[in-house]
Amino acid sequence: MPSPIADAAEPEEPHASAQPAAWQDDPRSVQILSAEHASLTTTRSLVYNEAFTRVGVFLTFMSMSFVALALFTSAMPSGSSFLGVTAVALALNFMVGLMTLGRILGTTADDLRAVHAMARIRHGYLQVRPELRPYITTPTNDDIATVMRDYRAPGAGIGAVLYSLTTSTGMVAVINALLGGVLAGVVALLVGVGGVTAVVIGVVGTVLVFAAIAAGAARFFISDQASLEAEFPSSETGASTPT
């Protein structure tokens, strides 16, 4: 799921709703909007399915590789050979984890664009029948601050950090950080570093990998959300009245 950003810029007056348009009286307009809305709903469903499938494949791959590692090393004496095989297994899992994280970021962006487009379509519905406004509980404005509220994502602070960790992106990021840290510790043992020092290297590696992933993901989300243009931004009170 998307990471929260700061409040959107000062909203402008919706240029498409300044006066009634001829299309609002054409019944074909609602049919076109409904078809587009249905297409976006299908897109969101496919995006969610792909995200869950990718995460499931990653977790299955990681579990099976650890089982295979345990079976393979049971007949192998502990030492550099064991650490070498372990490092290879961790490196493969880390690589697959990063690829999974990249795709999860992509599906999250796709989902956000679908939600953004659906908010714009609902605004069109209300331009046709504004009296239905009390019955619409999802956003009808397409500025990013309003769209993000549809995710019930906290705006900033510790709440935003904790929310991010509960998403698929956050979970995969934590797993990758742990894999990276353990890999760093195993490599340290391979080169002859002491056990305590290797543990410290592993912890530091975990923190650094997580910080790098968090920074990259935040930059990606901010850039992606900034690319979404608002045709019908909300007013300062959080809603605009379509005409």
Segment 121-175, tens digit of pLDDT: 999 999 888 898 999 988 899 888 888 887 777 667 787 788 888 888 999 999 9
- pLDDT for 113: 92
Burial 60-98 (b: 16+ CB within 10 A, else e): eebeebeeebeeebeeeeeeeebbebbbebbeebbebbb
Residue with the bigger pLDDT between 17 and 180: it is 180
Mean pLDDT, range 111-121, rounded to an integer: 93
Residue with the bigger pLDDT between 234 and 77: it is 234
Mean pLDDT, range 110-126, rounded to an integer: 93
- pLDDT for 18: 43
Output the CA torsion sign for 62, 63, 64, 67: positive
| Digit-coded pLDDT (tens) for 182-220 | 999 999 999 988 889 999 999 999 999 999 999 999 999
d(Cα 28, Cα 31) in Å, to the nearest integer? Answer: 5
Q: Does pLDDT of 240 surpass 80?
A: no
Phi-psi region of 230 (alpha: psi -120 to 50; beta: other; left: phi over 0): beta
Q: Does pLDDT of 1 surpass 50?
A: no
When the pLDDT of each residue in the chain is averaged and rounded to a whole number, the result is 84
| Digit-coded pLDDT (tens) for 92-110 | 999 999 999 999 999 999 9
Give the closest residue to 119 by CA, choosing from 8, 230, 31: 230
Mean pLDDT, range 58-85, rounded to an integer: 83
Whole-model pTM: value is 0.79
The answer to whether 217 and 108 are in contact (CB under 8 A) is no
pLDDT band at 79 (very low <50, low <70, confident <90, very high): low
d(Cα 96, Cα 75) in Å, to the nearest integer? Answer: 27
